[in-house]
Chain A
């Protein structure tokens, strides 16, 4: 789990071009969107691509994104749940 969380942080930084951030700057439980990192709806779409490309998981309903991408931890949880299946 911890490895996945760290891997995700690196992947998020790369996918969203967060050039000035290090993985250590992202708290795994803090909200990614809104006030958190200040990500927006375009970033949410990029995260959907990340999920599919890197983990083979297709988010059926983009509206689910709010819950899935709430934090790095919720993303990791989602991946573990769906990869098992």
Chain B
């Protein structure tokens, strides 16, 4: 199953929405939690609608609008989104008032906008799009689930134009809660627990893509493969699954021109380290979460990077850990995991 990316739009912690350069001067993530650089939404959304929209809704609608404009499509044939946490701000607002006001004097707006499919639904209303509209909510493979659905759609109907998005927001409150619960502790193997685990830097973002199955004259890159797997036994298991995935696509690790991994800093965690020196020991290897922060749908941001890499045949210094990429970039493999629970592989090709 393959699909061509013909448009994209990303709002992230970096200046990816309006800047013309490709991560040339990335800002470092200084804080435990890092928020997006947001555009002036008034340029994109009418005030009468904007007034009620929470942050993730604004981010999603705007990134999607840019993507559609770039791809020259007014009305997509399907809108498929993935979000790990959903509408955090509105959920918090409503939940807090339910508890504090003892179930009295509650406001409908935040309840209505707390449903996970709000972004997809809002885009549909704005575009008057009556077509297929799904939202996937499975932790760190929410975007990948939406991607799989999109690939299946264009496989069934190659001429279709699918709007695919991955988005998540962070709030101060949810950060505190999830941090208290250890969600952002850097992954360590169970047999080597540390008294004081390191923390990963947290982020957020909204990245949208326009996909089609029929080869267009111009495109960013092709999605050529996707796979997810759950709680692998060990590094050996992970390696054989990745090797098996590549084999299914007639490829070897040495065919991969750049491995864009989900490690959160230069050091990485025990899993990324093992494979970087194991299965991928001869590969150009990189990372992206030091640019966007850790969040469930960060692979969508990685796709944004990989698509631009393949289109422009450039490997930005900002993503490099080892090597610099060959002269011709043909295949980029995105490999991500969240606390070794869900792993995902996304293969993009020129």
Contacts and interface: CB of A to CB of B under 8 A. Distances in A.
Interface of A: 15-20, 38, 42, 45-46, 49, 52-53
A42 B48 contact: no
Interface residues of B, number: 10
Interface in B154-170: none
B48 A38 contact: yes
Nearest to B52: A17
A52 B105 contact: yes
Interface of B: 47-48, 51-52, 105-109, 112
Instruction: Pick the 3 closest A-B CB pairs, nearest first.
Output: A17-B51, A53-B105, A45-B108
Contacts of A18: 51
12 contacts: A15-B107, A17-B51, A18-B51, A19-B51, A20-B47, A38-B48, A42-B52, A42-B108, A42-B109, A42-B112, A45-B108, A46-B107
A65 B112 CA distance: 19
A46 B51 contact: no
A49 B51 contact: no
A49 B108 contact: yes
Given A17-B51, A45-B108, 20 more contacts: A15-B107, A16-B51, A16-B52, A17-B52, A19-B47, A19-B51, A20-B47, A20-B51, A38-B48, A42-B52, A42-B109, A42-B112, A46-B107, A46-B108, A46-B109, A49-B105, A49-B106, A49-B107, A49-B108, A53-B105
A59 B279 CA distance: 67
Contacts of B106: 49
A45 B108 CA distance: 7
A38 B47 CA distance: 11
A52 B108 CA distance: 14
A38 B51 CA distance: 12
B118 to A, nearest CB: 13
A62 to B, nearest CB: 11
Nearest to A52: B105
Contacts of A53: 105
A55 to B, nearest CB: 11
B120 to A, nearest CB: 18
Nearest to A45: B108
Nearest to A54: B105
A17 B105 CA distance: 17
B52 to A, nearest CB: 6
A18 B112 CA distance: 18
Contacts of A19: 47, 51
